Amino acid sequence: MKRIAIILSIAAVLLAGFATAGIWQMNRFMTSEVNLPADGAAFEVPPGSSFAAVTGKLVDNGIIESDFWFRLYARWSGEAGSIHAGEYIIEQGATPKSLLEQFTSGAVRLYSFTIIEGWNHRDLLQALHAHDAIEATMTDEDWPALMESLGAKVTHPEGLFLPETYRFPRNTTDRDVLAQAYKQMMSVVHEEWQARSETAPVDTPYEALILASIVEKETGRADERPRIAGVFARRLAKRMRLQTDPTVIYGIGPGFNGNLTRKDLRTDTPYNTYTRHGLPPTPIAMPGRAAINAALNPAAGEELFFVATGLGDGGHTFSVTKAEHDAAVAAYLKQLRKNRREGR
């Protein structure tokens, strides 16, 4: 019996030694830097991947030499079943332990997409589909169904997606990005509507978006937005037609060739503010927050007209009377002729 006890004691000591050595070896492996190019590497965990498949792919890509200790550590720590699918950026200095933390935290690579102020819904969808990290699932015919799924009260998508930069992982769908942008627009419109001026010339948040979209298309200058909104507010109050070219162009549609003619101004469409009073039926573009704020807080004044200066700075000349405006238009045309002579 004494001999058996000695043998068992020796065996226990050996097992403890082996276990200690194994733990040391495992920790050494998990805290050693992985093999990477100087600029790091992208690594994708496909949806539904098992942990063994992920570690095997790390070996195949040469990032780790063996997955034995990696798999053992993950099972021991209980994290083998907690990895998230997605695309990861592995940076220099990474270790198997930090990789496991990265995979289980879901710290995937994020891409960005920016909606530009003044885009229309066709521009927006085209840009979404040109982004290589966004999965295209929509066509122009899908807009009404999308708007219904978002809970919108209208089916026309124009003006309802906030110009902003959005971040997301690879394989995010166009619908997912649009859902983010719609939610952001509704939040901004609500905030701006609550803080609107008593002189705001609109009765609903949707009308605010319509007017803001016109302001957005008329000027890119921050200092002019409230002033242009003020002109439109006074024209609406006086029952004057807005007579704004961007609405006419929107009414022409994708067939517009860049040359707005007198015939275009006389051809009636729901968006022709030369032939119709009031606001057009929908926004004509995606307005940014600054344009929304301007539409709801128009500048005070007496000006009823404005026309571009033609100086190349995006500025306008504002006028109170028609005679002043006619003189400003003549000056604009003269400046255009000068620009052409000088090759500008």
pLDDT band at 339 (very low <50, low <70, confident <90, very high): confident
Q: How many CB atoms lie within 10 A of CB 132?
A: 6
Contact 197, 297 (CB under 8 A): yes
What whole-number distance in Å separates Cα of residue 63 and Cα of residue 115?
A: 37
pLDDT tens digit string along 191-247? 999 999 999 999 999 999 999 999 999 999 999 999 999 999 999 999 999 999 999
Residues facing residue 166 across a β-bridge: 113
Give the DSSP letter string of 66-85: -SHHHHHHHHHHT-TT----
- Indicate the Cα dihedral angle 177, 172, 176, 190, nearest 10°: -40
- Top-confidence residue, 109 or 1: 109
pLDDT value for 120: 97
Mean pLDDT over all residues of the chain? Answer: 90
- Percent of residues, the chain, with pLDDT higher than 70: 93
**Nearest one of 306, 305, 285, 263 to 216, comparing CA atoms:** 285
Percentage of the residues of the chain whose pLDDT score is greater than 90: 66
- Let me know: does 198 contact 269? Beta carbons within 8 Å: no
Phi-psi region of 38 (alpha: psi -120 to 50; beta: other; left: phi over 0): alpha
Distance CA 23, CA 76 (A): 11
Q: pLDDT (tens digit, 9 = 90+) per residue, 289-324?
A: 999 999 999 999 999 999 999 888 999 999 999 999
Burial of 100 (0-12, 13-18, 19+ CB in 10 A): buried
pLDDT at 13: 45
pLDDT band at 250 (very low <50, low <70, confident <90, very high): very high
Alpha-carbon distances, residue 227 vs 35, 176, 241, 303 (angstroms): 60, 36, 17, 9
CB atoms within 10 A of CB 19: 10
Question: Is pLDDT of 80 > 90?
Answer: no
For the chain, the domains span 110-189, 201-341
pLDDT value of residue 15: 46
pLDDT at 65: 86
Structure confidence at residue 189 (pLDDT): 98
Position 66 scores a pLDDT of 80
Beta-carbon count within 10 A of 239 CB: 8
Which amino acid belongs to residue 7?
Answer: I
Cα–chain-centroid distance for residue 155? 21
Q: Rounded CA gap, 1 and 308, in Å?
A: 107
Would you say residue 330 has pLDDT above 60?
yes
Q: Which one-letter amino acid corresponds to residue 87?
A: E
Of the two residues 255 and 279, the one the predictor is more confident about is: 279
Which H/E stretch holds residue 341?
helix 322-341
Q: Beta strands of the chain (E only): which ranges?
A: 41-45, 86-90, 110-114, 134-135, 165-169, 172-173, 305-308, 316-319
Is it the case that residue 288 has pLDDT exceeding 50? yes
Give me the pLDDT at residue 4, please: 57
**Residue 49 pLDDT:** 87
Q: Taking CA 117 as the corner, what is the angle to CA 197 and CA 312, rounded to the nearest 5 degrees?
A: 100
Weakest mean pLDDT among 18-32, 164-178, 266-280: 18-32
Residues in the chain: 344
Question: What pLDDT does 14 receive?
Answer: 40
Q: Which residues contact 128 (CB under 8 A, 6 or more apart)?
A: 113, 134, 136, 138, 174, 177, 178
